[in-house]
A and B are shown apart, each in its own frame.
Chain A
Amino acid sequence: MEYDTAFKTISDLGRLLATREISSVELTHDYLRRIEQYDRRIGAYLAVTADLAVDQAECADRLLARGEGGPLTGIPMALKDILSTRGLPTTCGSRILEKYIPQYSATVVEKLERAGAVLLGKTNMDEFAMGSSNEHSAFRPVRNPWDFDRVPGGSSGGSAAAVSAGMAAFALGTDTGGSIRQPASLTGTVGLKPTYGRVSRYGLVAFASSLDQVGPITRSVRDAALVLQVIAGWDPRDSTTARADVPDYVAALDGGIRGLRLGLPIEYFGEGMSPGVEARIRSAVDAFRDLGATVEEISLPHTHYGISTYYVISPAEAMANLARYDGVRFGLSSAGCDIWETYANTRQAGFGREVKRRILLGAYALSAGYYDAYYLKAQKVRTLVKAELDRAFQRFDALLAPTSPTVAFKIGEKAGDPLQMYLSDVYTVPANMAGNTGLSVPAGLSEGLPVGLQILGRQLDEATVLRVGHAFEEATGYSADRPDLSAAAPA
């Protein structure tokens, strides 16, 4: 029997698998065929692990036949190529790690393997997660499935494009300044950045350690809850994970949002915001009022400092995190006449322009004489941003905002202007600075392109954010919008 499995949610696929109407092997082949068909054009994958996927699917089928397994057993997924996978290349979208094969798997990867998910491949990304358009991939850009001339957002652009184009049932991304939410917004998918510490970073190749967080990109809020359920929790190997119970996220989806207090930060509707995006968000606000929630405006004046602060702290951490790529133990090594020249040659050849730019920014911000003016000042502002959000969450159960000020922009449009590119993250960065959770859900189309609604929540309160997103999704049905891929199909 033929099923159009490409755009089904995990929950729907799970039902088909559980009733054995379709096997995981069949499902996996469906997805591999779609990757074959479309990814030449889209470029979401850096590596497709077809043989491994079929092996894992066979394994999953045996479990499912015995009536065992969980909600992710047999479900085909994609992983951002910054998550360490034992025995499989993990490039971080960088030449410097092109040949690097990790000896261990990230905690989240182990958890998903144990849950029986099937790995289709590793997805494209901005090099070391530095970028908002996926144009900074050292290998090739990713095209937005909604318009191949446009970017999918970044840095988890490959993961978002794969889910959006029906080339994976779900994917993991990472979010340091918006790298899950912004591409989800630009590709019409659901993207969740969990609270800092909710999900283990062990095996996530670090960009900015105090900001990085792993999260799902899915086709529904329920799916995001299902994936978070599996990957969340304290990890003895990551000292920054929270020792807090993991609630039942799926159970928390239901019950509606009547009486919930939602805040609308006025600073999130500022200069640079496209009218089409604003209209979608205002319309979303109306939908929430219709659902029985209260929506009130609130001022978060420190929002404006988010981006500049972020571009001091994250490069500083990145400068140290990227120092290990020295050509000595793994990855690219471009030998020179002595160790210093080997370092220089390796980095010169291995790092792209944006990565070099950020290493320099970070080294400058931390250098003697400038530390107080830049790094220390940024940390103080970060404290203020966090305090401001904490105060807001005393009044509100969640905050509503646009995820990105614009819809997907054209490939090359901002590539020559780093500052314009950095402003793509203006609404997503504050959640990283404060460590809070944020969800992007589809809020309809503008100019034929997806717009994302961002729902920000309290620390460790993914449950409320997911409930709000789920209610919106049920009421509006925007998550069911799909791109027209006919232009990508080989003639």
Chain B
Amino acid sequence: MTGVQGQGLEPVIGLEVHAQLLTRSKMFCGCSATYSGTPPNTHVCAVCSGMPGALPVINRAAVDMAVLAALALNCRIAEQSKFDRKNYSYPDLPKGYQISQYDMPIGIEGRLNFDLAGETRSCRLVRVHLEEDTGKLIHAAESGREYSLVDYNRSGVPLIEIVSEPDLRSPEEARRFFVELRRILMFIGVNDGNLQEGSLRADVNVSVRRPDGSFGTKVEIKNLNSFRSVQRALEYEIDRQRAVLGRGELLEQETRGWLEDEEVTVSQRTKEHAHDYRYFPEPDLPPLLLTGERVSALRESLAELPADREKRFIAEYGLRPQTASLLTDDRLLADYFEEAVSAAGPVDPSRVANWVTGDVLRVLHEIDAAPGGPQLPARSVGAIVSLVERGTISGAAGKTVLETVAATHESPDEVVRRLNLAQLVDPRALEELAESVLRENPRLVQAFAKNPRVLEALVGKAISASGSKASPALLRSIMEERLQRADVR
């Protein structure tokens, strides 16, 4: 794919990620920050629709979430930061300026570690800052006349912008960075990770250079709304840049857009037409001061981050890396798993993990419930795994109990009693059962000497005879012992 002449040129990639914060109200007014599925212009007021004379008031919860994100991304927190006006005209920006943070962001100099093919990579972060989202334009046409409508429900929704250093060297690395960033933001509860709806979106900056040479000409690709498009757009753009340079031509510093269907980038704005945003300090807002106590309290409230938790799950519970990764993608699921482990008592936690990542997730999905909800409590899951592992019920019965608990909200013990699912574990009764099955199947018993596999057939018959109650494990050991004795005789 790569243009032959431009080969050997190394990509240099940085990301700018915008993440909407999960606050109830908007960044600078009391309007609901929910806009998905709401009728247009119903969550608006004088402030977020930019009416003359209206003034912004800082949403404290948004500041807290921005600090949490900055802490999770290993940033320094600025004791004093401020808001600035970023001036540009567009109909989705009702004030004609966006309130953002320019030269004093809330979080400075962070770092994000992520995994690439089993290796830990690290990318430095320039900053994390707070700003407000814009409204949305809806383009329409009526009897051949095209027009646009504006919906300000999204206008003023709090955003953080996370800017990385150009430390990434491949599209795959950029994708992994974005995946891990999303996992962290979701894990600490500040963003819903919904790329399709744009509550998380990425711009990428990419250039190519001779290894260890000086930076090449940078191109920005805006509004990438999937992991795939981040990777594909970068792959396309790197090829394009290598090809241009390979032809001996010069690259232009510009902003390009990614056409999802054609899988190409196209020029949108060149440097000569770059905006001069005329930033200046927002005079309607006082400086944003953060006390040490407030930051410490937020730091303490910050849960263990997914990568750390993943490592701990491997070390402490002996989970396979893949399972640990799956469980720590979602903070609720990770919490759920740990609660189930402690409810299960002395049971191998990897058994609990298998249940949680398998049948439990399936059942939760079927009943459309989140882990941690009341429909299928983690302690019930722990109890079920424990019942199975102790042999009180069979694995198959365990699934039945799980599904029943999710449907009826009974306790596992109640379900086991009501459906009479307890296994036959009494040794004397199992001995009698084994004895009678062996008696009734002399030909199989004879065949055992030549073919030990007939044991399974005999165990199966015994289980059927017990009405599926007999513990297969116990039965097997009893029968095997009997058959071997018979053999000796």
Contacts and interface: CB of A to CB of B under 8 A. Distances in A.
Nearest to B97: A320
B55 A239 contact: yes
A116 interface: no
Given A92-B52, A97-B52, A319 B278 contact: yes
Nearest to B278: A366
A35 interface: no
Contacts of B286: 239-240
Contacts of B90: 339
B55 A238 contact: yes
A366 B88 CA distance: 13
A106 interface: yes
A328 B53 contact: no
A237 interface: yes
28 contacts: A90-B52, A202-B54, A202-B55, A206-B52, A209-B283, A236-B57, A237-B57, A238-B55, A239-B58, A239-B285, A239-B286, A240-B55, A240-B283, A240-B286, A319-B87, A320-B87, A320-B96, A320-B278, A323-B89, A324-B52, A326-B89, A326-B91, A328-B91, A329-B94, A339-B91, A363-B278, A366-B279, A371-B278
- Chain B interface secondary structure, helix, strand, loop or mixed? loop
A189 B258 CA distance: 64
Given A210-B283, A316-B280, A324 B53 contact: no
Interface in B390-407: none
Interface in A126-155: none
A324 B55 contact: no
Interface stretch (B43-51, B195-203, B349-357): B43-51
B150 interface: yes
Given A209-B283, A320-B87, A326-B91, A102 B52 contact: yes
Given A201-B53, A320-B95, A367-B278, 11 more contacts: A83-B53, A205-B52, A210-B283, A237-B57, A240-B286, A323-B87, A323-B95, A323-B97, A324-B96, A339-B91, A375-B280
Interface string B263-302: 0000000000000101110011110000000000000000
B53 A106 contact: yes
A210 B278 CA distance: 17
B150 A328 contact: yes
A202 B85 CA distance: 18
Contact of A324 (B95, B276, B278, B284): B95
B270 to A, nearest CB: 16
A21 to B, nearest CB: 38
A332 to B, nearest CB: 13
Given A97-B52, A240-B284, A366-B280, A326 B96 contact: yes
A375 B87 CA distance: 15
Nearest to A210: B283
Contacts of A237: 55, 57
B257 interface: no
Contacts of B97: 320, 323
A343 interface: yes
A220 interface: no
B377 interface: no
A203 B53 contact: yes
B46 A104 contact: yes
A238 B57 CA distance: 7
A422 interface: no
Given A104-B46, A240-B284, A326-B89, A206 B53 contact: yes
A348 to B, nearest CB: 14
B51 A103 contact: yes
A204 B91 CA distance: 23
Interface string A30-67: 00000000000000000000000000000000000000
Nearest to B56: A239
A491 interface: no
A100 interface: yes
A175 interface: no
Contacts of A182: none
A223 interface: no
Contacts of A324: 50, 52, 94-96
B452 to A, nearest CB: 83
A329 B278 contact: no
Interface string B78-96: 0000000101011100111
Interface string A206-239: 1011100000000000000000000000001111
A323 B95 CA distance: 6
Contacts of A330: 51
Contacts of A106: 53
A26 to B, nearest CB: 34
A419 interface: no
Contacts of B280: 316-317, 320, 366, 371, 375
A202 to B, nearest CB: 5
Q: Which 3 A-B pairs have the closest CB atoms?
A: A323-B96, A210-B283, A209-B283
Nearest to B88: A323
Contacts of A317: 280, 283
A84 interface: yes
B91 A367 contact: no
Interface string B93-104: 011110000000
A309 to B, nearest CB: 14
A1 interface: no
Contacts of A210: 283
A373 interface: no
Contacts of B55: 201-202, 237-240
* Residue among A83, A90, A206 with the highest chain B CB neighbour number at 10 A: A206
B54 to A, nearest CB: 7
A202 B96 CA distance: 19
* Residue among B58, B91, B96 with the highest chain A CB neighbour number at 10 A: B96
A44 B214 CA distance: 66
Contacts of B91: 326, 328, 339
B52 A100 contact: yes
Nearest to B90: A339
Interface string A367-408: 110010001000000000000000000000000000000000
A364 to B, nearest CB: 10
Given A239-B284, A324-B95, A326-B91, A205 B276 contact: no
A436 B189 CA distance: 45
Contacts of A206: 52-53, 284
A83 B56 CA distance: 17
Contacts of A363: 278
* Residue among A236, A237, A238, A316 with the highest chain B CB neighbour number at 10 A: A237
Contacts of A100: 52
Contacts of A368: 276, 278
A202 B53 CA distance: 6
A280 B50 CA distance: 46
Nearest to A369: B276
Contacts of A339: 90-91, 148
A79 to B, nearest CB: 13
* Residue among B51, B53, B58, B91 with the highest chain A CB neighbour number at 10 A: B53
A100 B85 CA distance: 25
Interface string A416-444: 00000000000000000000000000000
A320 B89 contact: no
Nearest to A362: B278
Nearest to B148: A339
A270 to B, nearest CB: 30
A238 B95 CA distance: 17
A103 B46 contact: yes
A371 B95 CA distance: 22
Interface string A334-378: 000001000100000000000000000001001110010001000
A343 B96 CA distance: 11
Contacts of A104: 46, 51, 54
Contacts of A319: 87, 278
Interface string B410-421: 000000000000
Contact of A102 (B53, B56, B57): B53
A316 B279 CA distance: 10
